[in-house]
Every structure is written in C-alpha cells, then in structure tokens.
C-alpha cells in the first residue's frame, strides 16, 4: 500500500490532493493508495478576496467555504494540529497523539503572519489603529476602522520580505486612494507607502510602472524602510536606522513565517520556518520522499496561488516519477501570474518566472490578448473578479487552466530592447 | 559570474560583487570589500557578525536572516543597522565572502 500524506488543505494542498486522487483513481478506490490531508480547521479562505473586505466590496461569508467540500470524497481529511515531521522515520506526529506514517509527504502548510515579531506591533493600538488584512479577523476589523476614518495619515507598510502576494500592499494603497475619492474625503487623507525594498516592487520594469502609479495617485513612497518598532498609541512607525513615519491608521504586512511545526521538525525548514526545497523539482532537502509546494517553500518565486497551481502540474509528475522509481524532472521555472487591482474598476496583470521579470504586452493569446500586461485596463479587473469562480471550480479540483501552462510563455510579451533604446519599453501604445 | 581582482587576488564574483566561492575569501578581501561599500575600518563587532554569518553559512549552506543575526550573533538588530547601514544581512554576506542570500519577490 502507498500512503501519501498532504500537510495543509489550503490552495496548494487541496490542488495536490485532488490531482493525486485523479492520477491514482483506481488504486485509491481499491484501497491500494491512500491520500490523507491534515489541517487544523475546516475553513478554506479564498485569500485574494481578503483585499476587498476592508473596503466593503466583499463579505466574509463570500470568501470562506468548508475545506472538506473542496476535497474529493476519496481523500481523507484529518482535523488536527501538526506537532512535528520526523523525516528519518517517515512519520508525522499530530497534537492529539496520532501518528501518520507516509511513503510520500507533501508539505503545503503555507505561511502565516507573525506580528508579534515586531516590537510594539501587537501592543496598545493593535486592531485599533494598527491592522493587518492578511487574516479574516484583521480584514474585518480594518473595515470598521476605515469606515470611521474621517481624515489624517494612512500608512501602508511592509515589514520584511518574503510576503504572501507581494503586490497586495500596493493594491491596498491603490484601493484606499479610490475608496477615499469615492467618499469625497481624499483631500483630507495623506497616504504613505513604506517598504524595505529600494523601489515600489522587486523587479525593475514593474517597479518603475508601479512607482509611477503611486505618484499619479498622490501616494508618498518611502523606500529602504526596515521596520524596527511600532508605537500604536503614539502613532509612530520607526525604522532600525531611526527614521520615523507618523500615522493615524497603520495597515501593515507583518513579518511572514512558515507554520510553527516546521521549526520543530529536524532539517525541514530555514530559520523562518520555510521548507528547504529544490526550486526546480520541488523535492525537500530533508529527504527524497518529502516534497513542498506553495507558500510553505523557501524557493525564490512569489508566494501566490498562481504559483501553487503551476507548481502542482510539475509536482504531480515528479511524485508519479518518484513512486515509479524514475528520475525527477527539474521543470519548475518559477512561473507566477498575478492581477494587481489599481482602483476604479481597473487592474494590471503581470506574468513572470525565475529569469524573466514582468514585462508589458498582451496575455494569454499574444496579439489578441484580451488582457494587457503591466497596463491598467478594465478587462484585467474583470479577469480578477472572474478568477474567484475559476478558483473554486477549476483550480482547487486540480484542473489545468486552458491556454495558461505551468511554464511561462514569452508569447505577447514585449521583450526589453537593447539598453540604448530601453526607455521606450514602457511607452503607452 | 565574472572574475574580479580584490586585494590583488582574482576572485569569482556575481554581478553584484558577491563571492561565488567562499573558499577564496581572506580577511584582506573582507577589508577591501568593506572599504568599497563605505565601511572603514572593520571593528570588533563587525568581525563578530561577519564570522557568525560565514560560519553559519559554511555549516548549514544558508546565510542567516537579519532576525537570526539579531538573536544569535551577539550583536543586537539595532546595532547591526548601525554597523552595516541599510542591509546588514546582505552587506555582512558580501563582506564575509558568501553568495547573496536568497532573493525573493
């Protein structure tokens, strides 16, 4: 019998469990292969929806569904906390005392925010003047604070990289601008974006486009700001090098870490609890029969649902190969694809991988589009809204998305010209 | 990858000047890189951080993060930013002759 254990029933874990069930359908129904998924609760949150909750454009009950209903009925779901993984003996210990033995383990427990790691962040003022929106509680609490906000200094801040959905804080700033315009009080609100990066984003061409958008919307950009402490009562965000940004309302993206049990599991993770993972094969460093996918890994790709989806197409093949005794395929290229809401019913779209940064162009069908890369358009915004249906009905059940393969395509992308004529790269068409 | 001459040695470096072969590192090279990034002289706490960074990398194959440096190197995070302005982990890695810590987006 082959026992496959998947830790985490979020985006990556659910997709993998359903793909494995399909791949081994006959073995699973005959009981020769078991697929067991472990999660601590039964609430699957559609995470891209969290961004819209603070602005009242989405309701909590619209973005949460039971985890069990997203998994095929032949997949077992165990609701328990994970205590540790012992890769040397091929077993996972759960908090209740249950021990799960495995032949193949897939770690898909994502990432969590760790606001307590920043001095003062969860002290006085937490969830009164200092908020996150990466949790459902945080996003709901922030909605109330925004409704009560009648003017002053709003600061959006990223504590450290990596974070989940690296464009989300920028989207928040863009949507906040639109929200205050709509309420007729934009002239009474100062919006500041403070980031540890040296520009609005990591990759140069996109960073330039996004910095330009911030400027257009009157949002002040503060760069190389490494958050040292937060004073929620005094309304001060301070950096390690003694710079201060005053705020009336702080929306922060706290430090991200892997699930807590990763650090308790010998050899599994790095010092933030992200699983040491081969960026091409998705095999974990700790043992050949352990794999990792999604936000839980330490690979240098975006922590985003699209990445988990693209990885799943590579990982399902590598698990098949592993169980068949074949060599793994080093096929993951870091493909990531992401909508960026810019407010007023428009959005940008970016598509990138380990080697190719986000470029302007059209997607996914070359000249036809219909979506535009790295430029604001209404079609992109509609694409983002439609994606929620795609998420529950195509992505989680583990189906491929037509016309969008796991490996990034250069079709429709405008490659950067030689350095001499580079400035034209972003010129509007 | 290209070869640069640092402190009169030919050294393999990446586009941002991080050593690709930690075994090519010497203290003279550390001093030369530090001077290039505007840290001169390297004081005792600088060396403490650089050695911690390097030893940890050689033991585990990974560069420690700024948080680990602050908790375990014996130098507080605040002091780290004073010693290595803007990016302690990145600068200490470069001066300590180890590859650039994992990039992330």
Say if residue A68 is exposed, middle or buried (CB neighbours under 10 Å; 0-12, 13-18, 19+): middle
Residue B85 at interface with chain A, using a CB cutoff of 8 Å: yes
Q: State the smallest CA–CA distance between residue B82 and chain A in angstroms.
A: 7
Q: Do A272 and B86 touch (CB under 8 A)?
A: no
Q: B82 to chain A: which residues are within 8 Å by CB? A: 241
Per-residue pLDDT at A423 exceeds 80: no
Using 50, 70 and 90 to split pLDDT, how confident is the model at A134? Answer: very high
Residue B101 at interface with chain A, using a CB cutoff of 8 Å: no
Q: A241 to chain B: which residues are within 8 Å by CB? A: 81-82, 85-86
Tens digits of residue pLDDT in B17-58:
899 999 999 999 999 999 999 999 999 999 999 999 999 999
Tens digits of residue pLDDT in A275-316:
999 999 999 999 999 999 999 999 989 999 999 999 999 999
Q: A254 to chain B: which residues are within 8 Å by CB? A: none
Q: Of all helices (H) and strands (E), which one includes residue A69?
A: helix A67-70
A window 54-113, beta carbon within 8 A of B? none
In this complex, the residue of A240, A300, A336 whose CB is nearest that of residue B81 is: A240
Q: Which residues of B are catalytic?
A: 104
ipTM of the complex: 0.76
Please, what are the domains in chain A? 2-56+63-113+257-323 (3.50.50.60), 115-255 (3.50.50.60), 336-426 (no CATH)
Domain parsing of chain B, residue ranges: 2-95
Distance CA A198, CA A350 (A): 20
pLDDT at B100: 83
Distance CA A377, CA A370 (A): 10
Q: A276 to chain B: which residues are within 8 Å by CB? A: 62
Say if residue A72 is exposed, middle or buried (CB neighbours under 10 Å; 0-12, 13-18, 19+): middle
Per-residue pLDDT at A420 exceeds 70: no
Q: What is the DSSP letter of A353?
A: -
Number of residue pairs across A and B with CB atoms under 8 Å? Answer: 46
The CATH number corresponding to B2-95 among 1.10.10.370, 1.10.8.60, 1.25.40.80, 1.20.120.420 equals: 1.10.10.370
Name the closest residue on chain B to residue A165, using Cα atoms. B105
Q: Of all helices (H) and strands (E), which one includes residue A68?
A: helix A67-70
Distance CA A146, CA A151 (A): 10
Distance CA A240, CA B89 (A): 13
Distance CA A33, CA A319 (A): 13
In this complex, the residue of A224, A240, A270 whose CB is nearest that of residue B77 is: A240
Tens digits of residue pLDDT in A178-223:
999 999 999 999 999 999 988 898 888 888 889 999 999 999 999 9
């Amino acid at each position: 019998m082959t026992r496959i254990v998947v830790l985490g029933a979020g985006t990556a874990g659910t997709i993998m469990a359903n793909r494995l069930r399909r791949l081994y359908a006959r073995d699973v129904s005959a009981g020769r292969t078991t697929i067991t998924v472990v999660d601590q609760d039964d609430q699957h949150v559609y995470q891209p929806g969290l961004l819209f909750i603070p602005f009242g454009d989405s309701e909590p009950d619209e973005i949460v569904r039971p985890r069990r209903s997203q998994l095929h009925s032949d997949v077992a779901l165990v609701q328990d906390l994970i205590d540790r993984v012992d890769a040397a003996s091929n077993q996972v210990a759960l908090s209740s005392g249950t021990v799960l033995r495995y032949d193949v383990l897939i770690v898909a427990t994502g990432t969590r925010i760790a606001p307590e790691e920043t001095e003062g962040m969860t002290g006085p003022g937490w969830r009164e003047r200092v908020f996150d929106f990466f949790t459902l509680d945080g996003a709901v609490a922030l909605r109330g604070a925004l409704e009560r906000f009648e003017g002053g200094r709003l600061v959006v801040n990223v504590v450290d990289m990596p974070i989940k959905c690296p464009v989300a804080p920028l989207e928040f700033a863009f949507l906040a601008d639109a929200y205050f315009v709509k309420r007729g009080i934009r002239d009474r609100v100062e919006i500041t974006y403070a980031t540890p990066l040296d520009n609005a984003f990591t990759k140069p061409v996109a960073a330039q486009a996004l910095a330009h958008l911030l400027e257009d919307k009157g949002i002040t950009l503060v760069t190389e700001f490494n958050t040292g402490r937060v004073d929620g009562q005094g309304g001060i965000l301070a950096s390690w090098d003694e710079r201060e940004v005053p705020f009336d309302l702080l929306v922060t993206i706290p430090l991200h870490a892997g699930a807590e049990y990763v650090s308790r599991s010998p050899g599994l993770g790095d010092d933030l609890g992200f699983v040491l993972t081969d960026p091409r094969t998705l095999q974990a460093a700790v043992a050949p029969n352990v794999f990792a996918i999604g936000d839980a890994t330490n690979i240098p790709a975006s922590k985003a649902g699209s990445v988990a989806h693209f990885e799943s197409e590579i990982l399902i093949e590598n698990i098949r190969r592993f169980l068949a005794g074949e060599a793994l395929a080093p096929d993951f290229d870091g493909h990531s694809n992401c909508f960026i809401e810019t407010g007023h019913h428009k959005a940008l779209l970016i598509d990138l991988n380990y080697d190719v940064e986000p470029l302007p162009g059209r997607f996914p069908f070359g000249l036809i589009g219909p979506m535009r890369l790295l430029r604001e358009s209404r079609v992109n915004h509609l694409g983002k809204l439609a994606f929620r249906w795609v998420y529950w009905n195509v992505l989680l059940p583990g189906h491929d998305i037509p016309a969008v393969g796991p490996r990034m395509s250069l079709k429709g992308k405008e490659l950067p010209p030689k350095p001499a004529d580079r400035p034209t790269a972003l010129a509007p068409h | 990858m290209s070869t640069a001459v640092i402190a009169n040695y030919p050294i393999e470096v990446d586009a941002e000047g991080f050593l690709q072969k930690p075994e090519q590192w010497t203290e003279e090279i550390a001093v030369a890189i530090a001077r290039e990034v505007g840290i001169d002289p390297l004081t005792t706490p600088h060396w403490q951080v650089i050695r911690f960074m390097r030893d940890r990398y050689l033991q585990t194959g990974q560069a420690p993060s700024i948080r680990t440096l602050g908790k375990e190197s014996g130098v507080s995070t605040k002091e780290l930013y004073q010693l290595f302005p803007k990016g302690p982990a990145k600068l200490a890695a470069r001066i300590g002759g180890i590859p650039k810590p994992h990039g992330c987006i």
